[in-house]
Chain A
Amino acid sequence: MADSVDVLQTLKIVYTIYALIVISLIGWFAYNIVRDGKKEGAKPAIFYTYIAILVVIGTGLHFLTYNTVPWVPYDLDRHKIKPDKVFHITYRDHTITIEGEKPMLIHCGDKVVFEAKSEDLTYGFGIFRQNGSMVAQMQVVPGSRNDLLWIFNKNGIYNIKSTEYSGPKGAFMEVRDAIRVIGCREYDRYSIK
């Protein structure tokens, strides 16, 4: 099953190709605009085809990710899904406190919910690999529901960081080795200690 490494690697490739195409397009335009040649405008059919392509790309991206990125459907339906385990995390005075077992032990493929609660400021809850890449994140807003449903499919040890700015005192809010995933056939090669 795809994880954030796969998704972001695909993004890196797709966006780089796109960037090179548009840079070349403007380069081609700049080269030709100073030269004489055909001067007519675009035919309406070309214009409306172009608009149709933009509509397809703009909305199609969301249909694509809904069907290919695993966490989108279960994020939207998380209120209907019964989790296997719920972890409670509290934020106060720029400190992240994990209530209960530490590290949070998760079995491969279990549906787990991270329920974060802030008692003062707005923070963020982010799960990171040992190499610093992000697995997932959410905002932690005081007085609001902050629950992230996640399924891990690779063994590894993960850190938690606050992903939202909460003042200079919150610059280094991190709990190292906060999550341990076991029981999978595959290891997350960026999360092995």
Chain B
Amino acid sequence: MGFVKRLMEGYEGGLRDEAMTPMQKIALRFVVIGLLFYGLAALEGMIMRLHEVKPLPMIDESHFFSIMTVHPMVGIFGSSYMIVFGAFLFLTPYLMKKPIYSVKLADLSWKLMAGGTFIMWLAGFLFHYAPLYTLYWPLPVDFKQFNLIGGITYIVGVVGIMVGTFLFTYNIFKTILYTPEGWERQPSWELLKSTLGLEGLLNFFRREKKEHLVPLPIAAIGRGTIDMGLNAIVISSAGLLILIYFLGELFGASLKDTWVDALLYKNIFWWGLDLIADGLVLIFVAGTWYLLAMLISGKDLFMQNIARAALFIEMVVSWTVWSHHLMSDQGQPNILKVVSGEMVTAFELITQGIAVFITLVTLWRARPLKMSNELKFLLGGILGFMLAVPAGIIQADLGMNRVLHNTQWIIGTHVHVAILVGLTMTLYSAIYILLPILTNNTVKLYSQKLANLHFWLHLIGGIGMGAFMGMAGMDGMLRRAIYLNGEYNTYMILAGICGAMLLAAFVIFLYNIVMSFGVRGLIAIYRPAAVQTNEAVLPPKEES
């Protein structure tokens, strides 16, 4: 078969979508857009890295920092959120064995998320709006530096993302709790208690243990989704506050002297923002590891009750941990720095350590296992968090924070290793394991050699980049600064080579996926499904 024909039709006929349900298609729509945004974020990262090595002539400071502003937003909301939303909107009805509450809301969610991310990206690209994702007050409303239209565009994009997030949250909980038409009435309250982990907690004090009504991965999805909803409320509130200032400026009633306490704002904003970094990411990842371990091993999870309890603790930890971002703020009370910043943060080492242990033992009990793509990416993901979580714990210490805060250490060794190696490799594992389920087993992988190459380039590139950024940080390189004289060039060139490996890994993966699905197959994902059902998958046909 010629290259063009294979490109169009895919490997062994590519995706055949006739029997795909709307939820299978919507999940794939989320994933495909999420992967494209990942590519955009990787490209932005490379541009910034090159600029750190040798300033690029076409990029000035305002352009550089506008890229830095949208880079994490595209990476987190455009890519990670999208892939997670797609997977969980499919898995929730699939694992609960009931139809999704609303296909329309699910479809609207991906459109809002994708559109919102694109609009927000435009605010940086066209108008150089660059308050960074931290939005430290009063920078987002500093009209001496930023264009008003750019700011409004940015907020409109964020609104799209947040509305998409609220719809996802509503749809997930409604699906878990509602009674589908024609079904016996579902015990909503009992289901909610099981999802939140209250039942699991009460079981510790009961002689006769109650059975869990929802599977463990659903408990993880539910608990992470609570953090997601709370985070969306905080970000939306900040967006509303900023919008009020914009509108005041636009209509000639400047609010520039209106008093907003910058430290209080920072506390509230970090409380909400940390629900992503230290909340839903860790909870979702742990839940995904458990699901993957069970699917790969074909066995029940080891120490399932402990795993449920750890997920509940992680949720409480995520609500009380924000102060580790304010350890260099001298106005922040010491008690918050020590209790929330140091001690509660240390619990993340324990909860994540439990997830690592339970996942590895579950797999170990089923050996020998085949080193499949899902298994190798899962192990890569676990390694990523084993490297990244302690790096964050080290930074969340009063002694270390004084010499590491805002350096490349935290963004490299902690954040990039956690997201690129830990989270992204976990997501790749989930993609590989869900691929046959989402495509009714019609798509065969085009090349295993390319999949292996993708794995090694991504793993080495991700760890290497984090390591070299971390070393630069320990030598004093700041994370939100430009260096014009090549002060940290050795580290930045090495990190750049690793970044190029990551980018190459992504291109190889994308090529492998396009060749597997075929261009026609990928287009078919965005056509309406021929089958009209709210079920995640169609029941298998009965043998005649």
Contacts and interface: CB of A to CB of B under 8 A. Distances in A.
A139 interface: yes
8 contacts: A22-B386, A32-B367, A33-B364, A69-B399, A76-B398, A138-B402, A167-B142, A172-B482
B399 A36 contact: no
A29 B379 contact: yes
A1 interface: no
Interface in B454-479: 463, 467, 470-471, 474-478
Given A29-B379, A30-B379, A133 B475 contact: yes
Contacts of B363: 33
Interface string A15-59: 100110011011001101111110111100001001100110111
Contact of B365 (A29, A39, A143): A39
Given A42-B361, A132-B487, A146 B346 contact: no
A11 B484 CA distance: 28
Given A34-B370, A143-B263, A172-B482, A11 B400 contact: yes
A58 B392 CA distance: 11
A155 to B, nearest CB: 19
Interface in B358-398: 360-371, 375-376, 379, 382-383, 386-387, 390-391, 393-394, 397-398
Interface in B306-336: 306, 326, 328-331, 334
Interface in B388-426: 390-391, 393-394, 397-400, 402-407, 413
A141 B361 contact: no
Interface in B93-143: 128, 130-132, 134, 136-139, 142
B156 interface: no
B383 A22 contact: yes
A12 B474 contact: yes
A143 B475 contact: no
A144 B65 contact: no
A132 B393 contact: no
Nearest to B263: A144
A122 to B, nearest CB: 4
A8 B368 contact: no
Interface stretch (B71-79, B182-190, B198-206, B347-355): B347-355
A163 interface: yes
Contact of B330 (A65, A122, A147): A147
A59 B474 contact: no
Contacts of A144: 262-263, 329-331
Contact of A54 (B350, B474, B478): B350
A26 B474 contact: no
A18 B363 CA distance: 23
B504 to A, nearest CB: 21
Contact of A65 (B343, B382, B397): B397
Given A51-B353, A134-B407, A167-B146, A15 B391 contact: yes
Contacts of A36: 367-368
Contacts of B342: 62
A75 to B, nearest CB: 6
Interface string B280-300: 000000000000000000000
A185 interface: no
Interface residues of B, number: 91
A156 interface: no
Contacts of B399: 7, 65-66, 68-69, 71-72
Interface string A53-86: 0110111011001101101100110000000000
A11 B393 contact: no
Interface string A104-147: 00000000000000001110101011011111111101111111
A117 to B, nearest CB: 12
B379 A139 contact: no
A78 to B, nearest CB: 8
Contacts of A50: 353, 357
A31 to B, nearest CB: 10
B460 to A, nearest CB: 11
A4 interface: yes
A171 interface: yes
B371 A145 contact: no
B334 to A, nearest CB: 6
B99 to A, nearest CB: 36
A168 B329 contact: no
Nearest to B472: A132
Contact of A40 (B261, B365, B368, B480): B365
Top 3 nearest A-B pairs by Cβ distance? Answer: A58-B346, A65-B399, A69-B399
A148 B401 CA distance: 13
Nearest to B391: A15
A63 to B, nearest CB: 10
A169 interface: yes
B394 A167 contact: no
Best-buried of A76, A120, A167 by chain B (most CB within 10 Å): A167
Contact of B375 (A33, A133, A137): A33
A32 B134 CA distance: 44
A167 B353 contact: no
Contacts of B347: 58
A8 B407 CA distance: 12
Nearest to A124: B406
B354 A51 contact: yes
Contacts of B364: 29, 33, 39, 41
A29 B360 contact: yes
A62 B390 CA distance: 13
Given A61-B393, A168-B62, A72 B398 contact: yes
Contacts of A22: 383, 386-387
A188 interface: no
A95 interface: no
Contact of A128 (B128, B137, B470, B476): B476
B346 A76 contact: no
Best-buried of B61, B136, B328, B353 by chain A (most CB within 10 Å): B328
Best-buried of B128, B371, B478 by chain A (most CB within 10 Å): B478
